[in-house]
Amino acid sequence: MADRFRLTIAQLDPTVGDLRGNAAKARFVWQRARAEGSDFVGFPEMFIAGYQPQDLIRRPGFAEDAMRVIDALAADCADGPPLGIGGPYLAGDVLYNAYFVLESGQVQARVLKHELPNETVFDEVRLYTPGPLQGPVPVGPLRMGIPVCEDAWHETVCETLAESGAEILFVPNGSPYYRGKFATRLNHMVARTVETGLPLVYLNMVGAQDDQVFDGASFVLNPHGALALALPGFDEAVAHVDFTRSPEGWRAEAGGQAVFPDAWEQDYRAMVEALRGYCRKTGFARVLLGLSGGIDSALVAAIAADALGPENVRCVMLPSEYTSSHSLEDAAAVAAALGCRLDEVPISGPRTAVTAALAPLFEGTAPGITEENVQSRLRGLLLMALSNKFGEMLLTTGNKSEVAVGYATIYGDMAGGYNPIKDLYKMRVFKTCRWRNANHRDWMMGPAGEVIPPRVIEKPPSAELRADQKDEDSLPPYEVLDAILEGLVDREASVAELVAEGFDRDTVKRIEHLIYISEYKRFQSAPGARLTKRAFWLDRRYPIANRWRDPS
């Protein structure tokens, strides 16, 4: 019996719905692995379909087509090592999240996911039927247990595999990023190796899909959590894991150990990859944004330059009579530092025309927020016109603090196709800008150095829709607002709990009210990169019409 086994893991980026393109990527890696002596080539969960396919997976024609592609892949990869790949399995009218083991030209085994996640961004209970608990799959000289993603977060599946003769655990995943997720994954997988006494290979996909970013960072553990291999976060990678048989069982030989970046780099990378992947998978090569001279649009411009290259980013300044000279100078400084094009389109003429058109109806009323919002909506109109004319996707630039309380104009500054900073609170915007100024990485397509001038970071935030306007005229200081929002949104804390933590009750109640009455705006807002477990969209789903308020 062979005492060595080479397992090849492919940490790759599939595209949802590109069944044949995903299969071609798998075929290419399999051919290379075969030439390098691999005994098994593994790909992530649901790799053929892309992840997450959401309700697309419920279309019988989609699942049937995916299975045909898997059968064709098996035939193409008949002369070589077995190949493991995730995809849908439709048995009659019952749909499973499955992992297929292909060998000798056919499907030799199907492992059906048993534990279906039904929290945060996952709706698998409504999409799939749970598979039964299964035993290991024979692969060459060993018996491989294949707990699919969530299956490895529950000890029952892995214990069943160990008790039925598994000699290693191979875990294919589609595990999306949120801040702190890597440590959570690692802790769960260490627990599985301690409980079973088996080595474990954790394979995660990379790439972006809508709001979600898959951060890779695959790893291999020997029994009791000893780290043998760690792949980089966010990058595609293919690696061989060489196992040797010892009297104690199979053990992974030591390999490279990439260092996972710190939380600030993780978040910034996630925002860059989210935008880069969204553009690539939706067909946009270029973007534009309104560059106001403020910190939010400056950060979005930097993210866009790093994701797509400065030559593919158009910045547009849309001044009014309330736009300060500092804002004009700061917008120009940001665009120049990044190397992006900057156009200027004043809104004074369109605003005069709109004011004249509405004058008969507004006669006898005092100017107020309506007139302020006309300015924002004119900017949205002009930016969308440029987007339509030149095929550049418009980016919107509202941070999570503004999105939470509705401090944004629907059909105005909320107009756009994607928002990279949608899940980034304002205080983190400040720190992220400072981090980007001090750090540059190979994956950034923008320039190194100080790309966001200090004055942009340090000046008081303002929408500049009226004379001497400041955000704190309408909102509590951002350090207070963000702390309350983290309580109400991220922790689902009660009003009483926040008051006990030292916050003013009237302020907390006011912020709670703003969150609830802004739900309709968020329902119509652009998607954006998910950075936390409580991002607005799939993580947190509230009714629009809602009269309940916390009575505590």
Q: Which of 77, 115, 149, 521 is catalytic?
A: 149
Q: Is the dihedral of CA 176, 178, 183, 187 positive or negative?
A: negative
Tell me if residue 221 falls in helix, strand or coil. Answer: strand
Q: Which amino acid is residue 59, in one-letter code?
A: R
Cα–Cα distances in angstroms (integers) from residue 186 to residues 95, 183, 520, 534, in the given order: 30, 5, 38, 21
Q: Which of 25, 45, 158, 340 is catalytic?
A: 45
Q: Is the dihedral of CA 373, 421, 387, 410 positive or negative?
A: negative
Q: 45 an active-site residue?
A: yes
Structure tokens at 240: 């061989």
Cα–Cα distances in angstroms (integers) from residue 427 to residues 275, 400, 432, 534, in the given order: 21, 10, 9, 17
Q: Which of 25, 77, 103, 113 is catalytic?
A: 113
**Among candidate residues 204, 178, 272, 250, the one with its CA nearest the CA of residue 6:** 250
H or E element that contains 241 = strand 237-246
**Helical pair 155-163 and 181-196, crossing angle rounded to 10 deg:** 30
Note every long-range contact of 329-334, with CB atoms under 8 Å and residues 24 or more positions apart, other chains counting: 329/293, 330/293, 330/294, 330/298, 330/453, 330/455, 330/456, 330/459, 331/291, 331/292, 331/293, 331/297, 333/453, 333/456, 334/291, 334/293, 334/298, 334/301, 334/302, 334/451, 334/452, 334/453, 334/456
Calpha distance 196→190 (Å, rounded) = 10
* b/e map 508-518, b = 16+ CB within 10 Å: beebbebbbeb
Structure tokens at 248: 């104690």
**Among candidate residues 431, 378, 379, 376, the one with its CA nearest the CA of residue 406:** 376
Cα–Cα distances in angstroms (integers) from residue 150 to residues 112, 175, 326, in the given order: 12, 9, 52
Tell me which DSSP letter residue 58 carries.
G
Q: 315 an active-site residue?
A: no
With beta carbons less than 8 A apart as the criterion, state whether 315 and 335 touch: yes
Q: Length of the chain in residues, anyone?
A: 552
Please list the residues that pair with 99 across neighbouring strands: 86, 111
Cα–Cα distances in angstroms (integers) from residue 529 to residues 278, 311, 354, in the given order: 10, 22, 35
Q: How many CB atoms lie within 10 A of CB 227?
A: 15
Tell me if residue 262 falls in helix, strand or coil. Answer: coil
Calpha distance 505→396 (Å, rounded) = 32
287-290 vs 212-215, strand pairing mode = unpaired
With beta carbons less than 8 A apart as the criterion, state whether 382 and 350 touch: yes
Scan for tokens 């320039």, then name that residue.
447
Please list the residues that pair with 221 across neighbouring strands: 200, 227
Task: Please list the active-site residues.
Answer: 45, 113, 149
